[in-house]
Amino acid sequence: MIPRYTRPELGAVFSEHARFEAMREVEVAACEEMEGPTPAELEAIREATFTVEAVAERERITDHDVAAFVDVLAYSAGPAGRWIHHGLTSSDVLDTGLALQLRRAGEVILPEAGKVVEALASRAREHVRTLCVGRTHGIHAEPTTFGIKLAGFAFEAHRNFVRLGRAFDQAAVGALSGAVGTYSATSPEFEERVLARLGLERESVSTQVIPRDRHAELLQAVALAGAGLERFAVELRGLARTEVGEVLEPFAAGQKGSSAMPHKRNPIRSEQVSGLARVLRGNATAALENIALWHERDISHSSVERVILPDSLILLDHMQQRVIGLVEGMLVDAPRMRANLELTHGALFSQRVLLALVSERGLSRDEAYRVVQRLAQQALDSGVSLRELLAADPDGEGLDLDAIFSYEPFVRYADEIVGRLEAIVPVGVSGA
């Protein structure tokens, strides 16, 4: 992934050196568990080193990156190098090393995914009773609260946090079963001991490669998490529009919104999250294509994974950082939210009028619907409030207009709804 989106923490996990280092750990652990090497040889194997440049130079001869790596490492170990890669095949080292990298990536990504949940929960509690309009199909529906909105995003972020944890766990699987997975040169016991050293689970049947549904599951979880971040970003973008103006992205001192128009404060961070979520979905599709390999193994998946695995995890990490910053720094304009509630001149109380006409005036539901539809449209067309129109209409006679046109019913359960966050982020956890 390009440096623009790469935090050092994830860049270090997926550097070329880190890839070879994970492979070195597998080779060393295998030597430590095999019969043959003497204590002195094991010490030489543990101290063997490589450089990315040396491997690349050797690969120009071998045209095989694992063979080149093994040659360089074995040469560094001296005579003891004869034990390196003994009884193993390339996929044993590649796939098990990849599992180590994925586990390390998860150790960086998962805590940040938790911070997304905490940030959303904190702002939800802050705005539990901040009235705003709810929109369906982009059209004003009924009032809600901004806290309820954010609580929904928090629960989704938590589901993605849990999904990511499961996905990383099931991908932390290694295999040292040799050519076509029959242990012809090793044994299941040897494999179990090596993987125990590395802290990895064993693939039940590896056939030489670890089945790629595991990696596809991880990238599906990543794509889902990205889609959840995008859903929040889309909401923020919609609320930031000039005509709405309810929420704005944080805007740093010295920041410029447009090279041509100095007044602009564009939602660029949210738009970036939306764009990168598309990349994650595309990469998840490529991971699905990687599942069907020929017979016991081919390498059609390998070139794809060199791109989609590091790129997807690096991008998700970047997007999480973006959203944490957006949630913590977004500017919420509660007065504008309240003002926007009045744009329909009370038409958003239409359901309450409908129910009152049915329960208090005895109209059928269809009759009541037609009355409210007529009066609401008149309010929208004329700018006269629905309350005034209803008060002057014979069908509104005797109705308790103060009760009908009260915002209280829309917020009376807000504390209870937002309070459900306690199950995932107890009050007092971080900034929540």
What positions carry a catalytic annotation?
137, 258
Q: Which structure tokens are listed for 407?
A: 């915002």
CB neighbour list of residue 174: distance below 8 Å, 6 or more residues apart: 26, 95, 96, 99, 100, 194, 195, 198, 200, 201, 202, 203, 210
Residue 228's region, left for phi above 0, alpha for psi from -120 to 50, else beta, is alpha
- Evaluate whether 378 touches 392 at the Cβ level (below 8 Å): no
CA distance 216 to 414: 39
| Element holding 248 (H helix, E strand) | strand 247-248
Provide the 8-state DSSP code for 82: G
The amino acid occupying position 139 is I
Report the C-alpha gap between 275 and 155 in whole angstroms: 23
* CA–CA gap between residue 13 and residue 313 (Å, rounded): 10
Question: In angstroms, how far is CA 20 from the centroid of its own chain?
Answer: 27
Burial of 215 (0-12, 13-18, 19+ CB in 10 A): buried
The CA–CA distances, whole Å, from 187 to 39, 46, 66, 103 equal: 22, 23, 22, 25
| CA gap 401, 356 in Å, rounded | 10
Closest by CA position to 364, among listed 112, 372, 378, 316: 372
Beta strand ranges found along 114-239 (DSSP E): 131-136, 139-145, 173-174, 201-202
Alpha carbons 16 and 72: distance in angstroms, whole number: 15
Instruction: Give the burial string for 59-74 (b: 16+ CB within 10 Å, else e).
Output: beeeeebbbbbbbbbb
- Local structure of residue 154 (DSSP, 8 states): H
Distances (CA, A) of 295 to 176, 181, 208, 211: 18, 12, 10, 12
